[in-house]
């Protein structure tokens, strides 16, 4: 299995851009980085529970996640791991509640086997953020939970990477070949990847930007993502970079989409507002709104330009519901 995967990858010429390049140049390296960053974090947590010591590794792991988060099909979808890795948004505050229960509860819940069965809201990067950047003193010694959460993240990252290397990448790369029942045609893979991209842009627009923006009358700065670690804007920028790279790996023939990515990236780089706190004052809010408008424009451009270039329409996705 592995051999045929590497053979297929080796045959893909670097000048080409199509779904094999997306797998080779984007998805597999993305999962590899995420696996190594989370392993480094888990190793560091095994040595020390000091938040200040762990924060740099936490941020590297979060960076690596955002670079591959928009890929929501395949192994990551099988066990709900995407939500267990980052449970956000959490409008009902389920994460803090569930985590407090574990923190105050039976230590048996912290063994790797049992921890994986805990509510996804309590686990993952946001769970770890609450322990490493506590807003108020924690009600119990967090060290065992920090270690369990970091180890659980590394386990999920490793399992997803392994599942791609041990079979799923082959399934994607052999789309349309006899015996492939997952992807009956290559177009089905292109559609799946295009859908990830558009859904990822919508998540950026509606959640990462839309939640803190709220309405003009009622801005919601407290709803920005990863505020405690000061990553709200960083995640927006990294996500744009990652999705641009993914689009480019699919086709070199989408100049308007590339320009739209660049415009949004430029605006996000110029924005000097790490947790989007400015949404409450008209002048600073306008800058965040302009960034959101640029993401809306990016979305519409990608649908109009990239869709026809890839000859696919946006497929059904997890955001179709409420």
Partner 1 sequence: MRPLLLAAFATTALSALPGFAATPAEVVKTYADIAEATYGDSLTTAQTLQAAVDALIAAPSDDTLKAARAVWILARVQYQQSEAYRFGNAIVDDWEGRVNSWPLDEGLIDYVAGDYGNAENDLAQLNVIATPKFTLSGTEIDATKITPELLSGTLQEADGIEANVATGYHAIEFLLWGQDLNGTGPGAGNRPFTDYVQGAGCTNGNCDRRADYLRVVTGLLVGDLTEITDDWSAAGAARAAVIQDPKAGVLAILTGMGSLSYGELAGQRMKLGLLLNDPEEEHDCFSDNTHNSYYNDGIGMRNVYLGSYTRVDGSVVTGASVSDLVASVDPKVDTQLKGELDATVAALGAIKIRAEAGMAYDQMLAAGNKEGEALIMGGVDALVTQTQSVQRAIATLGLQAVAFEGSDSLDNPNAVFQ
Q: How far is the CB of 215 from partner 1 (least distance, A)?
A: 6
Q: Residue 91 CB, nearest distance to partner 1 (Å)?
A: 5
Q: Which is nearer to partner 1, 39 or 123 (CB)?
A: 123
Name which position in 5, 45, 54, 83 contacts partner 1 (CB under 8 A). 83
Q: Kindly tell me which residue out of 51, 210, 252, 315 binds partner 1, with binding defined by CB under 8 A.
A: 315
Is 84 a residue that touches partner 1 (CB under 8 A)?
A: yes
Does the protein bind partner 1 through residue 178 (CB under 8 A)?
no
Among 8, 119, 158, 207, binds partner 1 (CB under 8 A): 119
Please pick, from the candidates 187, 256, 259, 277, the single residue that binds partner 1 as defined by CB under 8 A. Answer: 187
DSSP assignment of 161-218 equals HHHIIIIIHHHHHTTTSTT--S-SSHHHHHHHHHHHHHHHHHHIIIIIIHHHH--SSS
Q: Say if CB 310 and CB 267 are below 8 A apart.
A: no
**CB atoms near residue 289 (< 10 Å):** 15
**313 lies in the binding site for partner 1 (CB under 8 A):** yes
Choices 11-19, 136-144, 168-176, 309-317; region in contact with partner 1 by CB under 8 A: 309-317
Task: Establish if 94 lies at the interface with partner 1 (CB under 8 A).
Answer: yes
Provide, rounded to whole angstroms, the least separation between the CB of residue 178 and partner 1: 15
How wide is the angle at C-alpha 86 spanned by C-alphas 195 and 300, nearest 5°? Answer: 30
Q: Any residues with CB less than 8 A from the CB of 124 and at least 6 apart, and which?
A: 83, 84, 85, 86, 87, 149, 152, 153
Min dist. Cβ of residue 56 to partner 1 (A): 29
Is residue 307 part of the contact set for partner 1 (CB under 8 A)?
A: yes
Q: What tokens appear for 278 in the block?
A: 């400015």
Residue 317 within binding range of partner 1, rule CB under 8 A: yes
Residue with tokens 């299995």: 1
**Token match 């970079």: residue?**
241
Residue 214's alpha-carbon distances to 47, 175, 185, 220, 292, in angstroms, are: 41, 42, 41, 5, 12
Judged by CB under 8 A, which of 69, 118, 149, 249 binds partner 1?
A: 118
Min CB(253)–partner 1 separation in Å: 16
Residue from 29, 214, 252, 274 in contact with partner 1 (CB under 8 A): 214
In the complex with partner 1, the residue whose CB is nearer, 10 or 316, is: 316
* Alpha helix (H) residue ranges in 1-104: 2-11, 19-21, 28-47, 51-66, 75-78, 81-85, 94-104
Dihedral pair phi/psi, residue 16, rounded to 5°: -80, 160
Site for partner 1, residues 192 to 211, rule: CB under 8 A: 198, 202
Tokens of 166: 């041990």
286 counts as binding partner 1 under rule CB under 8 A: no
Instruction: Select from 137, 217, 255, 283 the one that contacts partner 1 (CB under 8 A).
Output: 217
Three-class DSSP labels, 279-322: HHCHHHHHHHHHHHHHHHHHHHHHHHHHHHHHCCCCCCCHHHCC
The backbone region for 50, taken as left when phi is positive above 0, alpha when psi lies in -120 to 50, beta otherwise, is: beta
The reply on whether position 191 binds partner 1 by CB under 8 A is yes
d(CA 108, CA 120): 17
- 1 in contact with partner 1 (CB under 8 A): no
Q: Which residues bind partner 1 (CB under 8 A)?
A: 80, 83-84, 91-94, 96, 98, 117-121, 184, 187-188, 191, 198, 202, 214-215, 217-218, 223, 303-304, 307-308, 311-322
């Amino acid at each position: 299995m592995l051999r045929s995967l590497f053979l297929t990858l080796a045959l893909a010429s670097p000048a080409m851009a199509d779904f094999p390049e997306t797998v080779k140049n984007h998805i597999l390296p993305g999962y590899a980085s995420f696996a190594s960053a989370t392993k480094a974090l888990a190793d560091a947590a095994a040595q020390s529970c000091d938040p200040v010591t762990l924060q740099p590794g936490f941020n590297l792991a979060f960076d690596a996640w955002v670079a591959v988060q928009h890929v929501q099909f395949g192994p990551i979808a099988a066990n709900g791991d995407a939500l267990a890795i980052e449970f956000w948004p959490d409008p009902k505050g389920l994460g803090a509640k569930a985590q407090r229960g574990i923190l105050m509860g039976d230590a048996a819940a912290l063994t790797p086997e049992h921890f994986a069965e805990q509510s996804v809201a309590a686990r993952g990067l946001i769970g770890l953020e609450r322990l490493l950047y506590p807003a108020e003193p924690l009600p119990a010694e967090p060290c065992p939970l920090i270690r369990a959460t970091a180890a659980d993240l590394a386990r999920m990252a490793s399992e997803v990477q392994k599942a791609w290397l041990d079979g799923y990448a082959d399934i994607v790369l052999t789309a349309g070949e006899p015996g492939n029942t997952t992807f009956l045609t290559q177009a089905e893979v292109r559609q799946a990847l295009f859908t990830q991209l558009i859904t990822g842009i919508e998540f950026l627009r509606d959640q990462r930007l839309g939640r803190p923006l709220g309405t003009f009358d009622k801005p919601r700065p407290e709803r920005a993502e990863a505020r405690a670690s000061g990553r709200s804007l960083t995640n927006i920028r990294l996500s744009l970079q990652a999705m641009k790279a993914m689009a480019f790996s699919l086709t070199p023939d989408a100049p308007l989409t590339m320009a739209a990515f660049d415009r949004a990236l430029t605006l996000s780089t110029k924005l000097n507002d790490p947790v989007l706190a400015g949404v409450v004052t008209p002048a600073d809010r306008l800058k965040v709104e302009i960034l959101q408008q640029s993401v809306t424009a990016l979305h519409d451009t990608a649908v109009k330009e990239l869709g026809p270039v890839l000859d696919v329409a946006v497929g059904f996705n997890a955001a179709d519901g409420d």
